Structure formats: C-alpha cells, structure tokens
Amino acid sequence: MTKPLTYSHHEGEDRAKSVDRRGLLKGAAVLAASTVMASQASAATVAPLGQTGAPTRSTGPLPLGPLPGSRYPDSHLESAKKGPPSFGPSGFPAFAGTMAVERVATGMRWAEGPVYFPAGRYVLFSDIPNNRIMRFCEDDGHLSVYRQPSMNSNGNTIDREGRLITCEHSGRRVTRTELDGSITIIADKYNGKRLNSPNDVVVAADGSIWFTDPIYGIGGYYEGIKAEPEQEKHNVYRVDPKSGDIKVVVDDFVEPNGITFSPDEKKLYVLDTGFTDGPDNPSHIRVFDVDVAAGKLSNSKVFAEMPKPSITDGMRADTAGRIWCSVGWGDPNEDGVRCYTPQGELLGKIHIPETVANLCFGGQQRNRLYICGSTSLYAVYTSVQGAMKP
C-alpha cells in the first residue's frame, strides 16, 4: 500500500533534492517567473518556441496556422463512408465542411499527454525528451514552459477539483499538482517495488485514479532514466480515492498505454502497444465492463485493431461515446487520428503530417480537438463535445 505523500517546495533543500523537484510552481507570481527562467535556461539545448520542427511527412518546414493546401472541405478530414459528404448525425463528426486542421504550436521533440484546463483556457502537454511540460494558451496562441524539469512527464489529466495529475517516467510515479503548487505523490510503488514508468492516466467521478504502467520510460535515457523493471508484469492500476491503496485491475497486457472511460463510466478502454516489443504482439484497443467503485473489470474484448505496423498511443471519448484515438509509427498516410462508434465501427480519420501520440478535447465548448503530433501541437474544431471526464 502506498499512501499519498504531500510535500512543499519550501520544506527544505534536502527534501527538494530527494524528489528532484526544484522547478515546482508556487502561485501565479512564481509560475510566471519560473516560466521565464526555464525558457531561458533551456534555450541553448532545445528548439526555440515557435520555430518550425521537422515533420515526418513534408517537403519543407510547416508554418503555423492551417496546413498548406487546405481548402474547404479540408482533405485532411476523411470520412470512412465514401460518396457525398454527410453532415448529419450518421456522418464523421470532424467533417462539417468549414473545419480545418491547424498547426498551433511547434518546437517540441516529442509532444505527449495533452490536457485542457477550462478555467484558464489553456492546454498543458508533455515534451518528454526535453523534460518539460508546455502550456498553450488558446486565447492568444502563446506557448510557454509550464514546468521544467518535469521528471520526463508523459500522460496528464485533470481531476474534478481542477488539479493536474501527471505520469512521470524518470520519477516512476503518478503525482498531483495541488492548487497551491505543491506536489503530492499518488503512486510510486506496488508491493514495495517501484513502478515501471507510468504512462497515461484518467480520473473517475468518484476520485479514483486509473493508470497504465508499461516500461517505455525506463528503456533508455531519451525519455527517462534507464533501469531494470521491478514489477513482474506491466499492469493497469487503480488508486482508491479514500485510502490511497493501489490495486492491479488487469495484468495481461504486453504494454498497456492510453486509457479512457466511456462518458457513463460503464466501459474502460485501454490500449495495448505490445507490437513495439515484437511483430506477433498486439496493436489494438481493448474494452472492459467496469465497476468503478469496486475497481473491477470484466468482459474484456478487442474494440479496434490498428493497421500494423501503426499503433495507437492515446485516446479520448466524446459525449456520445465515440472513441478518438491517435495513430502513428506505420504508414505515413495513416498518421493522425481515428474516430470510432461505441460499437467499434470506423467513422473517419484526421490526417496529420507527423506521427501522432495523444489528444484531448478542449475549447470553451469542449469541441476543439488538440492533437500532439511529434514536434507540434495541432487543433481542429469538431461538431461534437468531449466527455466531461478527460
């Protein structure tokens, strides 16, 4: 059992060093100052903010704004149903004639784990190799460093109190950023042994925290710190909201990755990217019936297969229960986002000129899809709303 441990940036130099958290933010004033300092300190080693990166599929640098050649209807939005566009409820909800894919920020090395904060109208997302969390303000398009170092953070989400929940590769833990800027360790061990490298996370309505724990963050020094795994299996865990107890809810994944609930929390979707460990391993989405309060899963089945060698890394649900998932690492023509009905039928694709890792819904009406694509953050408005649960 691991009890939540809360510490403050001001509890002493030794404590701060022991958790490697010298970059904690404490209040709005400290946040602004540390953002400037972190940006200056990292300028010599990372791409300047706003500088175009090197997309995986392009003949030249991509500008910010609508993708080159965009014309309504945007050809980057592809409905699975061929023929005349369908704008009704049976059509692809990212295809409404006047929607276009935009590149809103760039300068990252590997963008991951986006989460939207409606109170501030900004997106936080990880830049894993650069060991930082970025912040994109949607009202003015400003991109800044929110936290550095970030312990090679990966997946992020927001709980019902508006607090940031983060999976950390090099920390090998799940943390919560409190409203005062202090950090609470939610989970770092199971049965007395360190976790592998928590990857993605979701919070249920009852406050329980569910996360995946593959080994990607301890496989080398680019996205974390190389280490031997201490856990025998690559598990999916649940943290009890009252006791803080950590429980394995499923242990038969090769590499559990993205995770999300259906809007009614009756289904839990978990990605298996085991294909990265060998060609005979899975590249698919599994779905379970879930009893959130009891922390029990049942009736596992494959929801959707990915076109190997492509994998899906992250996903979110909309209010109608459709699943939106990232696609990358295979055929460049498949790079982007796929949208499925709750029954697993493919509705359409969003083509992105970079390998896509993860996504989230945001915007004032929760109808703007933010997409982490390798070096960049993309966005496209849709005709649906993301589920309230991130």
For the residues of 187-219, what is the DSSP string, one character each? ESEETTEE-S----EEE-TTS-EEEE--SGGGS
Flag whether 386 is in a domain.
no
For residues 354-373, average pLDDT: 97
State the pLDDT at residue 152: 98
State the pLDDT at residue 90: 54
Q: Between residues 244 and 39, which one has the greater pLDDT?
A: 244
Residue 349 has pLDDT above 70, yes or no: yes
Range of weakest confidence among 45-59, 185-199, 212-226, 257-271: 45-59
Tens of pLDDT, residue by residue over 128-162, are 999 999 999 999 999 999 999 999 999 999 999 99
Q: Between residues 14 and 376, which one has the greater pLDDT?
A: 376
Q: Between residues 87 and 377, which one has the greater pLDDT?
A: 377
Backbone angles phi, psi at 23, to 5 degrees: -100, 20
Secondary structure letter of residue 275 according to DSSP: G
pTM, two decimals, is 0.84
> Which positions are annotated as active-site residues?
313
Tens of pLDDT, residue by residue over 258-309, are 999 999 999 999 999 999 999 999 999 999 999 999 999 999 999 999 999 9
State the pLDDT at residue 160: 95
Flag whether 212 is in a domain.
yes
State the pLDDT at residue 35: 40
Tens of pLDDT, residue by residue over 226-248, are 999 999 999 999 999 999 999 99
- What mean pLDDT, rounded, does the chain reach? 85
Residue 376 has pLDDT above 80, yes or no: yes
Say which CATH number the domain at 117 has. 2.120.10.30
Q: Between residues 94 and 142, which one has the greater pLDDT?
A: 142
- pLDDT band at residue 91 using 50, 70 and 90 as cut-offs: low
C-alpha 258/C-alpha 34 separation (Å) is 30
State the pLDDT at residue 14: 38
Is 112 annotated as belonging to a binding site? Answer: yes
Percent of the chain topping pLDDT 90? 72
Confirm if 134 and 127 have CB atoms less than 8 A apart: yes
Confirm if 27 and 33 have CB atoms less than 8 A apart: no
State the pLDDT at residue 2: 41
Is 313 annotated as belonging to a binding site? Answer: yes
Is 272 annotated as belonging to a binding site? Answer: no
Q: What is the number of structural domains in the chain? A: 1
Is 199 annotated as belonging to a binding site? Answer: yes
Flag whether 389 is in a domain.
no
State the pLDDT at residue 42: 36
State the pLDDT at residue 118: 96
Q: Between residues 190 and 54, which one has the greater pLDDT?
A: 190
For residues 167-194, average pLDDT: 98
State the pLDDT at residue 273: 96
**Which residues does 203 contact at the CB level (< 8 Å), separation at least 6?**
157, 158, 159, 160, 165, 209, 210, 389, 390
Q: How do strand 143-147 and strand 209-212 relate by DSSP bridges?
A: unpaired
Flag whether 388 is in a domain.
no
What range does the domain containing 360 cover? 5-381
- pLDDT band at residue 390 using 50, 70 and 90 as cut-offs: low
